[in-house]
Amino acid sequence: MPTWCDWVGIGIHLRYGNVTLTGNLLENGCNRSAWSAPRGPEIHQYPFVTASNHIKVCIGRIHYLSQRLTYFSRVITILSICVFTSRSTSAGIVNPGPIALRMEITPSILTADFARLGETLEEAVAAGINWIHMDVMDGNWVVNRTITFGPAIIRSVRDRLGPEVTIDCHLMITNAEATWKQYAEAGVDMVIAHIEAVEDFPTLITEMRQAGIGIGCVLNPDTPAEDVLPLLPELDLVLVMSVVPGKGGQSFMPEVEGKVRAFRAAIDEQKSNGGRAVKLMIDGGIKDHNAAMVAEWGIDIAVVGSGLINDRGSIAENLAAIHKALG
């Protein structure tokens, strides 16, 4: 009869010369063997994802991990330990099973009935959402000339929800440098401005930092990551658009994957060096059918509009469908 045993997984980050591998070490509780499945430098964010290359490691005990690993590389950095247990048989192949992807969901309120906006937001908070994303369009910068709302509505939302809920505003406007203070004074926790619309982003960062407001930078689907990467040490959030802002009838653009992964790798390297832990957000066409995919890319926060606020179900029901997709 096969015997049941526990497997313990430990997320590891190995640096050898100029090559960084991040992966997992699994220890078999029955025979004390272990193996590591490192991922390439560009893929790192979720533990226990199998990659094409494997390094087999034999250890006697988990607490000998760092000593034994020194045999494999000149420099070892253990970033985090993610422990789980999964049952397997001693006669079978180890499979730790599916791992839930972690990604926060924030609603875009543009699909809400504005006559019931307060009720809709309270419904979202009651469903477990604690981050609200507010899209500000001035009728000039976006291609469809849409005008949404301004600081007055944001102040009303803050007053309705109180200080516990995080509110950001995504400024799709031509004069973010001149007007961002109005949104800060209205009660947002973070202002997210477009790299394409701001002439001097470093100066904007300095001014917002001095005011104590969170700083986000957003880039359109066709804007390269290289335009924003130099700003990363001073940002709190990067928002990658997966649709063109203000253009109706669009579908999610999967071609932004490479850009998302580039930011994920840069952010994690920055964190490993003691730098700022920048949040990575995506906005545009996110629903339950593609939520797990963008979470695997390394997204921390997904903005969801019609996939969350619609007539097909309650916010709680739609949120549950997304969480189910995430595992």
* Cβ(121)–Cβ(99) below 8 Å: no
| Tens digit of each residue's pLDDT (9 = 90 or more) over 29-57 | 333 333 333 333 333 333 333 333 333 33
**Does the pLDDT of residue 186 top 60, yes or no?**
yes
Is 268 known to be catalytic?
Answer: no
- Architecture per CATH, 104-326: Alpha-Beta Barrel (3.20)
pLDDT digits (tens, 9 = 90+) for 194-205: 999 999 999 999
Using one digit for the tens of pLDDT, what is the confidence trace for 160-181? 999 999 999 999 999 999 999 9
Alpha helical stretches, state H, the chain: 65-69, 117-126, 151-161, 176-186, 201-211, 257-272, 291-297, 315-326
- Percent pLDDT > 70 in the chain is 69
Question: What rounded mean pLDDT belongs to the chain?
Answer: 77
Tell me the pLDDT band of 143, cut-offs 50, 70 and 90. confident
138, 283, 288, 300: the catalytic one is 283
**Domain boundary assignment for the chain:** 4-89, 104-326
Which whole number is the average pLDDT over 223-240? 98
Report the predicted TM-score, pTM, of the whole model to 2 decimal places: 0.71
- Cβ-contact 243, 284 below 8 angstroms: yes
> Among residues of the chain, what percentage have pLDDT more than 90?
65
135 annotated active-site: yes
Beta bridge partners of 135: 170
**Mean pLDDT value of segment 182-211:** 97
Please tell me the distance from the alpha carbon of residue 213 to that of residue 240, in angstroms, as a whole number: 20
Chain segment 7-20, per-residue pLDDT in tens: 334 343 333 333 33
Q: Which of 135, 236, 288, 300 is catalytic?
A: 135
**pLDDT, tens digit, 9 for 90 and up, residues 242-277:** 999 977 668 999 999 999 999 999 999 999 999 999
Nearest Cα to Cα of residue 84 among 106, 109, 62: 62
Residue 246: the pLDDT is: 78
Whether the per-residue pLDDT at 183 is higher than 60: the answer is yes
